Structure 1
Amino acid sequence: MITAIPMNYHEIANHFTKALSLVFFDDQGNELHREPNPALNTSCSGKTAMLELFKRHNAERFVVRHIGQKMLERLLNNSYSVFQVRRGRHAAQNLAVIPDTELIPLTAAEHGSPSVNHDKKKAQGRKCCGQDGLKEQAHRSGSCCGSHSTPQHTCHSTKQAGRGGCCH
C-alpha cells in the first residue's frame, strides 16, 4: 500500500494543500517518490493536479495533520483512506509505518477543517468551477465561475491564472 504524506522538509506539514512536497512511501516506510506540491500557491487547478499526482503514484492512504473539508471530501469520494496523526513529531523514515494507535481515521468531510476561502467566495456570490457542473458552462461563456471575471478580464488571462483568482 502506497502512503502519501504532505511534508515540509522532514516533517509532516501542518496543512495538507500547503505542504512544500508530497512524499510517497511503501509499506516498509521506504520513500518512493518526493514531488513538489502542485496545489501550493494555486487555485483549484493545483488541487486537481494534486489528485492526478496521487493517482499516478498509486497512493491509497494519506497521513495528515490538518486537511480542509473540501479536499477531504475529494479524497474520500475517490475511495482513499485518510488518517490524521495525533500530536507529536515523527521521524521521516517512520512516517508511513506510524502505529494505528497514533492515527485517527477521517471518514467524513466534516472531520476536516472548514474552508475559510470557500466561505468567502460563497459570501461574495462566487462559486468554484468544480461545483454544480459550472466549469464547462463558465468556459463556454468566457466568464470563469464568478463575478470576478468580465469578457475583457477573464481568469484565463496571464495576470489571474494560477494566482487564486481563478477557480481551476
Structure 2
Amino acid sequence: MIYAVPSQNFHVGNHFSRSPQIVIMDDRQQVRHIIPWNESDNSCNKKNRWMAIIGTYHVKAVVVRHIGKKMLGHLFDKEVKVFASPAKALITALDLKNLPEIRDTEYGRESRNNHRCGSKRGPTSVLSTTSTLSRSQPHKLGVIKRVYQ
C-alpha cells in the first residue's frame, strides 16, 4: 500500500496541509518520493495539490496528526484510508500496521475561518470592519484591553 505523510524534517507534520513537504512511502517504509511545498501556495492550492498527489502516486492511505473536517471528508470520498500518528513521530520509525485508523470526520478540526476554495470572497475577519478601537469600546470579541493611544 502507498502512504502519503505530511512531513517536516522527516517527522510527521503537525497539520495536514501546512507541512512543508509530503513523503510518499510504501508499506515497507521505503521512501519513494519527497514532494516539497511552495511556501507561497495558499491553502486552497495546497489542498487541491494534495488531491492531485493522491491520484498521481496512487496513494491508498494518509498518516496525519491534525486535519480539517472538510479535507478528511474529501479523503473519505476518494476511499483513502486515514491513520492517526503519535506526536513528533519519525516517519521511518512509524509502525504503519498498528496506527489507529480514523473512520469518522469527527476526528477532524473545524475550520478557523469560513473561507471556501473557489469563492470570490476571501477569508473574513471580525476586526477587518473596525478601524480604531479604544479601551472602552465593546466589540464582538468583548472589551479590548491594553489599547494605548
TM-score normalised by structure 1 residue count: 0.65
Corresponding residue of 2:89: 90
Once residues 105 and 16 of structure 1 are traced to their aligned partners in structure 2, the CA distance between those partners, rounded to angstroms, is 16
Percent sequence identity over aligned pairs: 28
Tell me the matched-pair count.
Answer: 123
**Which of the pair has more CA radius of gyration?**
2
Once residues 38 and 77 of structure 1 are traced to their aligned partners in structure 2, the CA distance between those partners, rounded to angstroms, is 26
Shift of 1:23: 0.3
- Structure 2 SS opposite 1:116: coil
Corresponding residue of 2:36: 36
Q: Flag the 1:39–1:48 CA change in 2: closer, same or farther, 3 A.
A: farther
- Structure 2 SS opposite 1:93: helix
Query: Unmatched 5+ residue regions in structure 1?
Result: 122-126, 130-143, 149-168
Corresponding residue of 2:64: 64
Corresponding residue of 2:79: 79
Shift of 1:99: 4.1
Is the CA contact (8 Å cut-off) linking 1:63 and 1:85 kept in structure 2?
yes
Corresponding residue of 2:138: none
Q: Flag the 1:61–1:38 CA change in 2: closer, same or farther, 3 A.
A: farther
Once residues 79 and 109 of structure 2 are traced to their aligned partners in structure 1, the CA distance between those partners, rounded to angstroms, is 19
Which residue, out of 93, 104, 108, partners 1:108?
104
Counterparts in 2 of 1:6-45, with a 5 A limit? 6-37=6-37, 41-45=41-45
Which residue, out of 102, 120, 135, partners 1:145?
120
Is the CA contact (8 Å cut-off) linking 2:2 and 2:24 kept in structure 1?
yes
Shift of 1:113: 0.8
- Structure 2 SS opposite 1:59: coil
Once residues 40 and 107 of structure 1 are traced to their aligned partners in structure 2, the CA distance between those partners, rounded to angstroms, is 32
Q: Flag the 1:74–1:147 CA change in 2: closer, same or farther, 3 A.
A: closer
- Structure 1 SS opposite 2:110: coil
The residue type equivalent to 2:89 in the other structure is: H
Is the CA contact (8 Å cut-off) linking 1:39 and 1:47 kept in structure 2?
no
Query: Unmatched 5+ residue regions in structure 2?
Result: 124-149
The residue type equivalent to 2:91 in the other structure is: A
- Structure 2 SS opposite 1:113: coil
Q: Flag the 1:147–1:27 CA change in 2: closer, same or farther, 3 A.
A: closer
